[in-house]
Structure 1
Amino acid sequence: MSFAATRLAAVKPSASAWVSQAAKAARARGEDVIELGLGEADFDTPSDIIDAAHAAAKAGETRYPPTDGTARLKAAVVAKFASENGLTYGLSQVIVSNGAKQVIFNAMMATLEAGDEVILPAPYFGPYKDIVLILGGVPVAVPCPAEDGFRLTTERLRGAISKNTRWVFLNLPSNPAGAVYADDDLVNLGAVLADHPRVLTLSDEIYEHILFDGRKFKSFAAACPDLNDRILTVNGVSKAYAMTGWRIGYGAGHPDLISAMTKVQSQISSGACAIAQAAAAAAMEGPQDDVRRFCNAFEARRDLVVAKVAQIDGLTLNAPGGAFYAFIGCDALIGAKTPDGTIIENDADVTAWLLKAGGIAAVPGSAYDLSPFFRISTAASEAVLAKAMDRIAAAVGMLDRGPETGVTT
């Protein structure tokens, strides 16, 4: 007997969550595993944010909140967009949800008809595809190779749009590759979209505050103001403020879209936790010193991983411009043999070998629809990352890649 609806057949569990759970299970068995699968910083939520949550609970902010968010948090979101992004929204144009993922789910459920296509520049955050699938849409993966900086080009976008296209997803900077778009890139993409009035754009900007090498962030809605009625900007507090477990995300867009998304949310979860919303508001209203401190730490960790990968024959890495991941190329390892003679046939085999030989939990590039790569989170401490990279180097060095490389076991 099957309890699952047929629409779930094509939907897969989150790859990063699965890897994280597998790593935890391995550690529970006494195995020495370094978990680099989950996109979660090792920092604690800053104490002033925790204090704000405690104060809110003590003050009685423990009842049902408005479905679309508390007035205080929505006002903080509006102020954030105005001061940091140069964007003007009214309160009716903002929704607060249980994490940014629910914002995306709400939007797709509110707008997708069966057969509507959603363009996903690959590599992309895996749940994008599964959310589209579960709601009857058709995900259209557009490969964005390393030579293009893992960025969607105007040519690839133009070629992917069809009469059935409903949404285009952007992720700025991106998970898993840390790709960053120049302002001109965004303007040029907007020029293509301007010719297709039915197409909406979802700009996932959850990693906005994690940018490296002196880069300045530009929201897609700020780069393409003429398209604002067709842009949903998604963000949240989980990454910038080390608040992953608080589950607060938000979106801003046309009031009719936000109204439809609120209707969806009213039947799924109602409003997000009132205490967590108070904490998020305090995070956004208060000093931003911790945000900058976290970013500086992430950049140092990025630098460490880039330098380590450069020393490992068989792996490649485009230095990520933002976020806290490394999307590592492993094409040279395909076809290699493990010491027991097993052939490495794909990037899933690479990650399986890294787990077996090195105790490293990583996510294969196939989970993001671009192979052969694997993703590691660089949100761990420098000490942990240095140890992990040494283990990866040792595991790769154990592979027999044949006489053409001169590297054998």
Structure 2
Amino acid sequence: MEFLLADRIERLPSQFFASLTKRVAEVQALGHDIINLGQGNPDLPTPPHVVEALRTAVQDPRTHKYSPFHGLPALKEAAADFYRRTYGVTLDPEREVAILVGGKTGLVEVAELYLEQGDIALVPDPGYPDYLSGIALAGGTAKSMPITAANGYLPDFEAVTASEWERAKVWYLNYPNNPTGAGATSAFFDDVIAQASRHNVMVVHDFAYAAIGYDGKQPPSFLQAAGAKDVGIEIYTLSKTYNMAGWRVAFAVGNADVIAHLNLLQDHYYVSIFPAVQEAAIAALGADQSAVATLVATYQKRRDAFLNAASVHGLQAPAPAGSFFCWLPVPAGLDSISFAESLLVNAHVAVAPGRGFGEHGEGYVRLGLLTTEHRLKEAAWRIAHFCHTQL
């Protein structure tokens, strides 16, 4: 018996990172020492006080029941307090905070909520590939907004025609940016709000790397800009700030109508997240953020170690402003996919080809700063040696 998939499932793009992981495993299985810089999975443990909060909560039988619909009120209050302390942004915990089963879930749900067949969603190119998943499920059309070195990796508004702006319903942004590591300014967010208001487009700012800014600079929140709540939301995941990638907990903040709609959809998909995980998230968002400061300092040291080693070995590697990624140009005459494959097979360094993040990612590879300083220095030497001797 044959069971045919629904058209919306057939429309889903291939999973870029799944194929990358499989290829790295194949080469690693041959016995090679692979320095894997190709993924975005944090390598450090969750802070001990967060783990302890989970352990304590798990032992409480009250957490073994269904969570309240829309999540624990205390977690929404913790998220609102975190935004007040960190960004000076005031939020109504009940109306302007939605608890999410991971940030990726929220990104997909927004598309399901607001896109109909033929509607346009604006996406950064290069950008996080999974923005396309929700758009495909909803039957919408993804319109690329090029972000390139020439414009500081900020989207080119002029790349969208007047008729496309009129059809656009959702606009995805992401700063600090994956994959380029670029940052955004408050002035840029002001321009985004003006453009979104002009065309009645909802902004979804993916703030996945919110905590990771370099050289003493804190990345700005979209919600710090005047009028941000009128045009959209921001999605904050605990995955990167607290090394809680596998815990699947995040929240959306901003426009009250969008928050209500996210809660409505999640009422049908889930009740909410396991209450013990929510209790741990409350502990993570609490007043003591020393673990986050230590984490950012660690990434700063890793970034600088890689960049310094790259420079010593004659490798061009621009410094990211945030995130835990470096965006490395490939040698002239090569495409990113063939370069990444050759680097894996011959130098035993895994990187993500830029083409996997969109058409305008071609010519670059993404490296994750997700190993020790020693290994990052070794990776810089291997890449430089490969480029100088085998190309």
> TM-score range, shorter-chain basis?
over 0.9
- Answer yes or no: is 1:386 the counterpart of 2:389: no
> What is the deviation of 1:20?
3.0
**Residue 8 of structure 2: aligned partner:** 7
Deviation by residue 1:182-216 (Cα, 9 ceiling, x = unmatched): 222222222222212x2000011121110001213
SS in 2 for 1:163: helix
| Higher mean C-alpha deviation, range 262-271 or range 295-304 | 262-271
Cα distance in 2 between the residues matched to 1:316 and 1:151: 21
Q: Which amino acid aligns with 1:217?
A: P
Taking structure 2 as the reference length, the TM-score comes to 0.92
1:168-207 mapped onto 2 (5 Å cutoff):
168-196=171-199, 198-207=200-209
SS in 2 for 1:332: coil
> What is the deviation of 1:43?
1.2
SS in 2 for 1:96: strand
- Answer yes or no: is 1:363 the counterpart of 2:352: yes
Conserved? CA contact 1:236–1:248, under 8 Å:
yes
| Higher mean C-alpha deviation, range 233-242 or range 26-35 | 26-35
With over 3 angstroms needed to count, the CA separation of the structure-2 counterparts of 1:373 and 1:208, relative to structure 1, is same
1:271-286 mapped onto 2 (5 Å cutoff):
271-286=272-287
**Residue 222 of structure 1: aligned partner:** 224
Of 142, 145, 151, which residue of structure 2 is paired with 1:142?
Answer: 145
Gaps of 5+ in 2: none
With over 3 angstroms needed to count, the CA separation of the structure-2 counterparts of 1:13 and 1:275, relative to structure 1, is farther
Deviation by residue 1:85-111 (Cα, 9 ceiling, x = unmatched): 222222222111211001111211111
Cα distance in 2 between the residues matched to 1:231 and 1:321: 24
> What is the deviation of 1:331?
4.8
| Higher mean C-alpha deviation, range 58-67 or range 70-79 | 58-67
Of 342, 356, 367, which residue of structure 2 is paired with 1:353?
Answer: 342
With over 3 angstroms needed to count, the CA separation of the structure-2 counterparts of 1:32 and 1:18, relative to structure 1, is same
> What is the deviation of 1:395?
2.2
Cα distance in 1 between the residues matched to 2:3 and 2:373: 46
Cα distance in 2 between the residues matched to 1:234 and 1:220: 10
Conserved? CA contact 1:186–1:220, under 8 Å:
yes
Of all paired residues, the percent bearing the same amino acid is 25
Conserved? CA contact 1:172–1:205, under 8 Å:
yes
> What is the deviation of 1:246?
0.8
Gaps of 5+ in 1: 335-345, 401-409
> What is the deviation of 1:180?
0.5
Deviation by residue 1:154-183 (Cα, 9 ceiling, x = unmatched): 544677952100111111111111111122
| Higher mean C-alpha deviation, range 68-77 or range 31-40 | 31-40
Backbone CA RMSD of aligned residues: 2.1
Conserved? CA contact 1:17–1:37, under 8 Å:
no
**Residue 24 of structure 2: aligned partner:** 23
> What is the deviation of 1:326?
0.8
With over 3 angstroms needed to count, the CA separation of the structure-2 counterparts of 1:311 and 1:134, relative to structure 1, is farther
Of 82, 85, 100, which residue of structure 1 is paired with 2:84?
Answer: 82
- Answer yes or no: is 1:291 the counterpart of 2:280: no
- Answer yes or no: is 1:372 the counterpart of 2:374: no
Taking structure 1 as the reference length, the TM-score comes to 0.88
